[in-house]
Chain A
Amino acid sequence: MAEEKKARRPVDPNSAKYKLGKIASDAFADAIEAKKEGKPVAWVSSNFPVEIPETLGLATAYPENQAAGIAARGAGERMCEVAEADGYSNDICAYARISMAYAKLKECPEQDVAMPDVLLCCNNICNCMIKWYENLAIELNIPMILLDIPFNPDYEVSQAEIDYVSAQFWDAVHTLENLFDLKWSDERFKEVTGFSCRSSRAWLDATAQAKYTPSPFNGFDLLNHMAVMVTARGKEAAGEAMEQLLKEYKENHENGTSTYRGEEKYRVMFEGIACWPYLRATSHGLRDRGINMVTTIYADAFGFDYHSFDEMIAAYCSVPNAINLEKSRDKRIKLCKDNNVEGLLVHTNRSCKLWSGFMSEMSRQIGEACGIPVTSFDGDQADPRNFSEAQYDTRVQGLMEIMEANKEAKGE
């Protein structure tokens, strides 16, 4: 008998899910439209100050976001192989390989983007980004603007670092003005920063609703919604949609409902970039055991709240991969404690050597400080060849069994 396909319920157009989904898809469509109209398009790294292109009215596309979409829709391996055939090692970040493949093919039905006229690169998220964008610049013969935010070995951001990055910020603005005949407006900048902070505040407040037990949402929702924070946090519509999301989460808590289906028996923090090619397997592996991933620093990383220009720069200097182990650890410990986390699941992501490299020691320290079990699994943010479902399953089950034993020992 043919399997009956469940009809999907139409999404309420007033819901946050609908609004956020539309903003995310519009982000790609708007850039394609701008390109058709002959306007310049920038490819932008995810933690580049969005305030610059948004204030200048420069259309944007985000290769990391595109690569995640391509991987989630099953084309990661095909695109990676195109890049590998051109000599890019499979040790290189899979987002970079997918992006290099797209720069060559200029099409991928799983997620097309407008081709760029300029590259806006910021290395606060990783240094591989620099070589990735340099290669794009050479292959596409277009300019690249680098905002250098080096890894900060100190706990706090110094004024010297703020000054260093601020000078580059204005240099990037002037370069873009000259390249594309754009005009910076302080008034527009003020408006954009207002939108960006509004989106960020609502987003961070929404993710913080996991402080309630049970959580009013399934943490995997955040992985979808965060696309808006990456690509459109400086837009007015993003702030509105994030406030709607916050409102819904608060209502869920008041009504005793949640987007997490089933009984929330255990609460974990997920560490690392999502394993996009296996989002369903990784999500169901948790859900089937009553585990809710209630928090992840990966989602919060795209919330930038500030009250002055210097604070904005400091926020961009404080993204998770640019700060030292102690500060990174303390941020995560706070998330674990604020959200009553009972276990930590670490994605050892072959693509992201930086993140996976420091997690071995950091997760040990977090586990000790919070008194929670920690386990890791091997995977990849976009290359499906680096994940084993059986391995994931055994480790998640082991983690669950420790959490279960801990509850029994506490008499819960």
Chain B
Amino acid sequence: MITLGIDIGSTTSKCILLRDGKEIIGKSLLVGGMGTDSPKKAMDTVLKECEITPEDVARTIVTGYGRKNFEFGDGEVSELTCHGLGGRFVFPELRSVIDIGGQDAKVIVLSESGRMSNFVMNDKCAAGTGRFLDVMATILQMDIGDFDACAAKSSDPASISSTCTVFAESEVISQLANGVKREDLIAGICSSVAARVSALARRAGVMPMVCMSGGVAKNGAVRRALSESLDMEIAVDPLAQYFGAIGAALYAYRQAIK
């Protein structure tokens, strides 16, 4: 049985095709999320690449912020449940997922049996989210993918005291003007995201094993700062950005066999 999970975020769309709830047979990721044609394109892409027709898919579940407005799904589930399921699919011992996406950050705590027992999300502020990092990358005229390597060179991470993205933007500009090294600024920016998210994690009752999901999981500097702040190992997997879609596909499978 083949099921499809689609995660429509604020900045990207991800799809996963799952066979019998066990094997990932295809995946796609397109830039552009809710309100764009990327979700449909991402779905068409994964089906085409795997040479599967929509009729071959037993059930499709949609998750993410765009979950309610996508007409090609059979149902929708929150990204909270899906990130928990997806994380647990990859890490069977997983108890906590830290998901930092484009516009929100969330910490999901799982019971021993793997069901979601608690979650905490960021408030209406962009600080501590991928958007914060995007804004900082723009100011520094850097590719966000280079943050990790650049931050690793830092010997004296800058202190970013503003918790507001807008204020932090002017703070970073001012520190740049004062000659603070780019690598120290980037390390400081990543630490500031980690500080904010680790506070959420503590509130949620984070416990090992912990993993990161979402686009920011790829950022090693944030991951290391988070790990230090929480004093816990944080696992990461190349599929981290797909956890929501994996969870949706798994949810679809569980529904389909009921």
Q: Which residues of A contact B (CB under 8 A)?
A: 348, 360, 364, 373-375, 378, 386, 388, 390-391, 393-395, 397-398, 401-402, 405-406, 408-409
Contacts and interface: CB of A to CB of B under 8 A. Distances in A.
Contacts of A406: 115
A388 B124 contact: yes
Rank and list the top 4 A-B pairs by shortest CB-CB distance, nearest first: A398-B80, A405-B115, A397-B78, A401-B81
A335 to B, nearest CB: 21
A232 to B, nearest CB: 36
A360 B200 CA distance: 12
A398 B116 contact: yes
Nearest to A387: B124
A218 B81 CA distance: 27
Contacts of A360: 203
12 contacts: A374-B118, A391-B124, A394-B79, A394-B80, A395-B121, A398-B78, A401-B78, A401-B81, A402-B115, A402-B118, A402-B119, A409-B113
A378 B123 contact: yes
A398 B124 contact: no
Interface in B91-137: 104, 111, 113, 115-119, 121, 123-124
Nearest to A393: B68
B89 interface: no
B39 to A, nearest CB: 16
B81 A398 contact: yes
A360 B124 CA distance: 16
Contacts of B78: 394, 397-398, 401
B70 interface: no
A409 B124 contact: no
B124 A375 contact: no
Contacts of A391: 104, 121, 124
Contact of B116 (A364, A386, A405): A405
A167 B79 CA distance: 57
Interface in B202-221: 203
A402 B116 contact: yes
Q: Which of A374, A391, A402, A405 is most buried by chain B, counting CB atoms within 10 A of its CB?
A: A402
A394 B65 contact: yes
Contacts of B121: 391, 394-395
B90 interface: no
B140 interface: no
Q: Which of B68, B77, B121 is most buried by chain A, counting CB atoms within 10 A of its CB?
A: B121
Contacts of A398: 78, 80-81, 116, 119
Contacts of A402: 115-119
Contacts of B118: 373-374, 402
Given A348-B123, A378-B123, A378-B124, A409 B80 contact: no
B80 A401 contact: yes
Nearest to B116: A402
A364 B121 CA distance: 15
Contacts of A388: 124
Contacts of A394: 65, 78-80, 121
A348 B125 CA distance: 13
Q: Which of A378, A393, A395, A397 is most buried by chain B, counting CB atoms within 10 A of its CB?
A: A397
Contacts of B123: 348, 378
A277 B104 CA distance: 24
Contacts of B68: 393
A4 B240 CA distance: 48
B131 to A, nearest CB: 14
Given A373-B117, A373-B118, A409-B115, A401 B124 contact: no
Interface string B69-87: 0000000011111000000
Nearest to B64: A394
A405 B77 CA distance: 13
Contacts of B104: 391
Nearest to B34: A390
A169 to B, nearest CB: 40
A375 B119 contact: yes
Contacts of B124: 378, 386, 388, 391
A397 B75 CA distance: 13
B65 A390 contact: yes
A405 B110 CA distance: 11
A392 B7 CA distance: 18
A358 to B, nearest CB: 15
A282 to B, nearest CB: 15
Given A373-B118, A393-B68, 4 more contacts: A378-B123, A388-B124, A397-B78, A405-B115
Contacts of B117: 373, 402
